Every structure is written in structure tokens, then in C-alpha cells.
Structure 1
Amino acid sequence: MLEFLEKNIGTVSNNQGSFSIDLTQANDTDVLVFSTIGYKSKSVRVSNLRTDSKTLENVRLEREIYELNEVVVKPGAFRTVNLGRSFGRTRLSAGFANNKLGNELAMEFNAGKTAFFPERFEAVISTNTYGKIKLRVNVYEAANGVPAKNILSENIFVETEIKKGILSVDLTPYDLRVTGTFFISLEIIEDMGEGRLHFVADYKGKPILTRAVSQGNWRSQDDVSLNFSVIGKQEVGKSK
């Protein structure tokens, strides 16, 4: 993924790594950020791209080393927990700010003080006029009330043709463990064109957060919440 730092402008490479991005409106002092899950991001000034044609050839991302806190596992009880809530009957729906590549929407969840192991993420689609769609699921730590560091070490892609119903994503292969507040988002990874992709929504609950690209600023949609859920196992008692 490539984005201008602190600007809502960016793009995503295809499966072969090819990409294009328009630099005609960029200033020499603007910074282009190269990023992908599992690797450290790298920043390059636009002035370097314009003066040295080999700058892109020299962009190499280093693998990110994830240092996890020590976990002491003891025999004990676990319970199944659903951190979302049912909206019941509602005619309200909401979705991405627009259906262009890089758009992302996130919801906040709170696992409390004991360890929570996410096993499944669910989003209730109210309308999908596209047919097959491809999205990426992201899981973030929270900082200052917004998503911060992505805790995934590999991409979670999901494809679906559901027109109306529950989009369910298996999280068990990723060995996730969270405590406290965290965010889960859906991200558009290809331009979808004309059409509608909406999710069941309500006026009550945590607000939607949206952004145009992964280096862009998060914006809160205070008037609406989405029917997103995270189901998993939680320790009964204290964790260390």
C-alpha cells in the first residue's frame, strides 16, 4: 500500500505488486509511505522520486519483528463472549464514505481486563449490489480513542457474494489475543465502481470511524453505529 503521509491520497498494488499513483498534485516536500502488514513502513520524499528514477527500485521493506508479552497459561475456565450486540429490527444502514480503493471503516470493542481470544468476526450486510467483493480485515490497538498499531502479522482477506446477510470471518488461524479496547475494520482493496455496499446500522452504540487511506486521519460518524460483532473465548478470572 502507498499513501501520502497525513493526506487522504493513496493506492494499493495488485497481486503482482504493480501500482500507479499520480504525483502531479504533490509537492516536493510531501512524503510517500510504503507499507504492508508484517513489514516496517518506509517513507520517501516526492523530491527524491522526481530527481532519481531508481528511487523506487531501492525501496525495500524490512520484516517486522513482533515481541509479544509473556503469557502464563494455567488450567482454568473459559467462556464464549460476543462483544457485539444485536440491533433487532432496523431499517437503518450505513457503509464506507465511498467505495474506492483504500477506504476503511472501523468499530470499537472492549474486552475488559481479562484476556480475550477473538475467533470470529461478523458484519451484517443489508445491501450488496456488486456481486463478489473482496475486503481486508484489520485489527488495531487503540490510542487516544482511534485505531493505532495494526496487531496482525499477516493479511486477512475475505471474498463474498452475499447480497444480504451475515459476513463471517474465521479469526482462529491468526492466534489473536487482546485486552481492553481494540478496533476491527473492513478495508476496500480494489476500486468497486458504481453500486452499494451497506451494513445494518443503528443510532445507538459505538460510532463508526472512517478514513480514506491507511495513513489518513480517522473521522468519527457520531450519529450511527454498525452491527459488527467479535465472538471469542475469554478467561474467567485474572490473566497474567
Structure 2
Amino acid sequence: MKLLLIALISFCSFTFAEAQDLTLAGTVTKGGDGEPLSFVNIGIRNKNVGTASDEKGKFVFKLSKEHLQDVLTFSAIGYEELSVPVRELVESQPLKVVLKEKVTALQEVVVKSRKMKVKKLGVTGRLPVVWGNPDGREGKDVYEFANFVNVKERPTEVLSVHFFVASTKLDSALFRINFYKNESGLPGDRIVEKSIMQKLPAKNGWVSIDLNKYDIYLTEDFFFGIEYLPAKGADRLAIMLGGKLGGRVYSREASLGAWETFAGASLTGYLTARQ
């Protein structure tokens, strides 16, 4: 009986230990000058497990031991992605992650003889409903919504982005704008390697980001993403985005998480563009 009891205690202790979280902590820096990289997306791709580095490039990431066999990816605009097995990271703390700058080809500009017109592309209407965190959990990770844009095979110069923000907790919030390929009806790889981040007012109203200085020219259908980057001390439920009935919404609930979509509603967000 005593041997059985000891075995049972040992088994329970082992099971408890296996169930405990792993903690990964460290800093993400640039290759070369060693400067910290802020708001780097860190996650296990397509598993909705992720976080982001803070303003000083630091991060603390907890995940369960079931992810020991997975690969953690560090992704920043303008830098090569770095993917490392979780098991190796656990054995190398504190982590010092270095990302190499990406070499990208210059974007081809198509010149047309006809006069181009400024248009609104996306969802311009809004009903008195709001969108927030896709899964309702509190947390410090990013969340992101996206809208599909059909350019109808016309060269498109993106000028600005507009969306509706509401918050009862914050005066302002930091957002990042991303552009993605259309891959089988969902956002795919990033197609604009430019960091577009701006702190915007968050008191129930339309906000805009001027994109003229980024020289964004696109020729194929794409998605633009609106990514909320929670500040220290602010959870994801602190911000809500405007929406309307009808159409289709695209969202993901974590850094490098899987994109999900459902019909019947859409995010209020549009671009002004010259076509």
C-alpha cells in the first residue's frame, strides 16, 4: 500500500510538472548595431500562441509544455524571420535574439498616361456596433483585423487608411498597418516591408493615418490589416473597432496566429487610393 501511495504521489508530481507553463524571456535586437527592436511579432505560427516585444525590445512569453516540440518564430517588418525550436530556447535563457535586416527589391512603378482618380477602397459604413478582441480573452498580445481590397487589375497608389476606434479605458492607442497578399481568400505573406505605426486617439471616433510618404504601389488584390499593439498596463479589451452588418470579417487573435473569417459582418475600415 505504501509503495502504491509513493508511486501515485510521484505520478501526480510528474503530471503537475508537465502541466506547468514554460517562461521565455529576453530581448530582440537588430543585427549590426544591436539596437532593440520594438513590437516584434513572436509566436508559434497558426496556433494562436504569441506575444510581441515591448518598446525596448524586451519580451516575457509563457506557454504550456505541450509546445516544447513546436517552433517559435520572430517576425519584424524589414527583417528576416527567425524560427527556433522552443526546446532550444528553453535551454538558452536569458534569450538574446538578433534579426538580420531584409534586402528587398525596389518596387516597380507603373506609369499610365490616363489621369488617375482618388477612390475609397474598403468598408466606409458603420452601424452602432463595435468589434473588439476576437476571442474575448484578456491578454497583452496583439490582435488584428483585415479587409480585402479588389483593385480590379488597376495600378493602385495607397494614400491613407481610415477606421473607427472606441475605448472607455484609454485616451490613445498604438496601431500598425500591414499589407498582405491574397492567398486563397485569406491574408498571406506581407507585401509591404515598411513599418507603419502610429499612436492614435481612442475616444469614439474616426482616425486616419497618412501613407503618402511610404510610396505604396500595388497592382494585385490585397488585404490591409489593422493591428492593435497594447501598451504596458493595457489589455486587449481596452480597444474596440467599428463594424457593420453584412460582408465578411477577417481576424486573428495572436502574433503570427491563424487567420479566421466569417460572413455576416465586416470591419469599418477603408483606404483612400489613386487609381
Q: Cα RMSD between the aligned structures?
A: 2.2
Structure 1 residue runs of 5 or longer lacking an equivalent are 235-240
Q: Which structure's residues are more often strand, by fraction?
A: 2
TM-score between the two structures when normalised by the length of structure 2: 0.75
Give the conservation status (yes or no) of the 8 Å contact 1:107–1:183.
yes
Structure number with the bigger relative contact order (C-alpha 8 A, sep ≥ 6) is 1
1:82 match: 120
CA drift of 1:119 comes to 0.3
CA drift of 1:74 comes to 4.6
CA drift of 1:197 comes to 2.9
1:238 match: none
Q: Which structure's residues are more often helix, by fraction?
A: 2
Computing the radius of gyration from Cα coordinates, the structure with the larger value is 2
Matches within 5 A, 1:63-78: 63-68=101-106, 70-78=108-116
**Structure 2: how far apart are the matches of 1:163 and 1:30?**
40
1:211 match: 252
CA offsets per residue over residues 93-142 of structure 1, 9 Å max, x none?
A: 323314642211111111111101110100023x3212211111111111
Matches within 5 A, 1:3-152: 3-53=43-93, 56-57=95-96, 59-68=97-106, 70-87=108-125, 90-97=127-134, 98=136, 100=139, 101-125=141-165, 127-129=166-168, 130-152=170-192
1:226 match: 267
TM-score between the two structures when normalised by the length of structure 1: 0.85
1:180 match: 220
**Structure 2: how far apart are the matches of 1:151 and 1:213?**
20
2:16 match: none
Out of 165, 186, 189, the residue aligned to residue 229 of structure 2 is 189
**Structure 2: how far apart are the matches of 1:69 and 1:174?**
11
Give the conservation status (yes or no) of the 8 Å contact 1:3–1:11.
yes
Residues matched between the structures, number: 229
Give the conservation status (yes or no) of the 8 Å contact 2:142–2:236.
no
Q: Among the aligned pairs, what percent are the same residue? A: 27
**Structure 1: how far apart are the matches of 2:254 and 2:193?**
19
